[in-house]
């Protein structure tokens, strides 16, 4: 596991974007697993800039981690909307190469099966992850058992309260989501985990330095052969580490 700590979120985003660029250039039809949330915005800004400077993403396939259950793609807090606003409207990626779970699907279990088939057909070269304050990755919440494949999850009160800042109030936050499972995440060839801010410091320390445990889902990343953790100084506060392996 490689750990890189930056002075600013913008610098961290540029570095993470360079890892995506390397993956994009390494294969004819690269597959990127993408995440949402404020943490990845500096990454997407830097990636857009690379495209403006000549990086070809026309053959890229993207597979997003998750989506709120019950929100249509056009809802301003849906992850479809987030991705369109922060990335897809700004780069020339083919629409049929963009995959995000359909949270408004009539049958969510069938949607999970459909999404697993997409992941099976398009093995992920590089998976981008954020981390929740409770250690979740995607919407894989702390539990006695972590589910391997795409599934519907009941969001914890902690996650609902954390995400309430994006909605009118906590009552407006969906109570369920569709998320890629931990096995699908771990099958990616490379993983980039990003975290910013002091409120993520405890989760990062538990995920990186603690035991592998289901009540800290991000800790399973210790089992992967190629993980780069991209932090700012605040999110790295509780780590005792050397930045070079």
Residue ranges per structural domain of the chain: 2-196+220-229
- What pLDDT was estimated at residue 240? 66
What φ, ψ does residue 199 adopt, rounded to 5°? -70, -15
pLDDT of residue 245: 43
Cα separation values, 131 from 75, 82, 231, 236, Å: 23, 17, 11, 13
Q: What is the pLDDT at residue 243? A: 44
What does the alpha-carbon distance between residue 126 and residue 111 come to, in Å, rounded to a whole number?
23
Token look-up 């929100």 returns 71
Distances (CA, A) of 55 to 28, 47, 221: 13, 9, 29
Question: How much is the pLDDT for 155?
Answer: 85
pLDDT tens digit at each of 245 positions of the chain: 999 999 999 999 999 999 999 999 999 999 999 999 999 999 999 999 999 999 999 999 999 999 999 999 999 989 999 999 999 999 999 999 999 999 999 999 999 999 999 999 999 999 999 999 999 999 999 888 888 999 999 888 888 888 887 787 777 888 899 999 999 999 999 999 999 999 999 999 999 998 999 999 999 999 999 999 999 999 999 996 544 44
Residues 6+ apart with CB under 8 A from 110: none
Question: Torsions phi, psi of 66, nearest 5?
Answer: -160, 175
Q: Class for domain 2-196+220-229, per CATH?
A: alpha beta
For the record, the structure tokens of 213 come out as: 């445990």
Rg (CA), the chain: 17
Q: CA-CA distance, 102 to 107, in Å (whole number)?
A: 10
**Helices 41-52 and 79-86 sit at what angle, rounded to 10 degrees?**
40
Instruction: Determine contact, residues 73/80, Cβ cutoff 8 Å.
Output: yes
Closest CA to 57 of 126, 108, 110: 126
Give the C-alpha separation, 59 to 93, whole Å.
Answer: 7
**Residue 57: CB partners within 8 Å, gap ≥ 6?**
24, 51, 91, 92, 93
Predicted local confidence at residue 231, as pLDDT: 97
- Positions marked active-site: 66, 134, 136, 141
- How confident is the model at residue 242, as a pLDDT? 43
Its pTM surpasses 0.85: yes
């Amino acid at each position: 596991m490689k750990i890189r700590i930056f002075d600013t979120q913008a610098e961290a985003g540029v570095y993470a974007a360079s890892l995506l660029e390397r993956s994009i250039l390494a294969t004819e039809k690269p597959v990127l697993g993408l995440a949402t949330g404020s943490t990845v915005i500096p990454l997407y800004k830097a990636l857009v800039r690379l495209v403006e400077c000549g990086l070809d993403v026309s053959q890229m396939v993207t597979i997003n981690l998750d989506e709120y259950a019950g929100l249509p793609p056009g809802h301003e807090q849906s992850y479809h909307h987030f991705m369109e606003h922060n990335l897809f409207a700004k780069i020339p990626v083919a629409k049929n190469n963009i995959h995000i779970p359909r949270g408004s699907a009539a049958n969510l279990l069938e949607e999970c099966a459909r999404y697993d088939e997409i992941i099976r057909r398009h093995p992920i070269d590089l998976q981008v992850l954020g981390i929740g304050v409770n250690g979740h990755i995607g919407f894989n919440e702390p539990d006695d058992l972590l589910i391997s494949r795409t599934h519907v999850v009941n969001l914890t009160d902690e996650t609902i309260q954390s995400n309430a800042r994006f909605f009118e109030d906590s009552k407006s936050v969906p109570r369920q989501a569709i998320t890629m499972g931990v096995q699908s995440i771990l099958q990616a060839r490379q993983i980039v985990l990003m975290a910013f801010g002091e409120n993520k410091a405890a989760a990062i320390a538990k995920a990186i330095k603690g035991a592998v445990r289901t009540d800290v889902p991000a800790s399973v990343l210790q089992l992967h052969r190629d993980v780069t953790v991209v932090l700012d100084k605040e999110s790295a506060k509780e780590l005792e580490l050397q930045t070079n392996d």
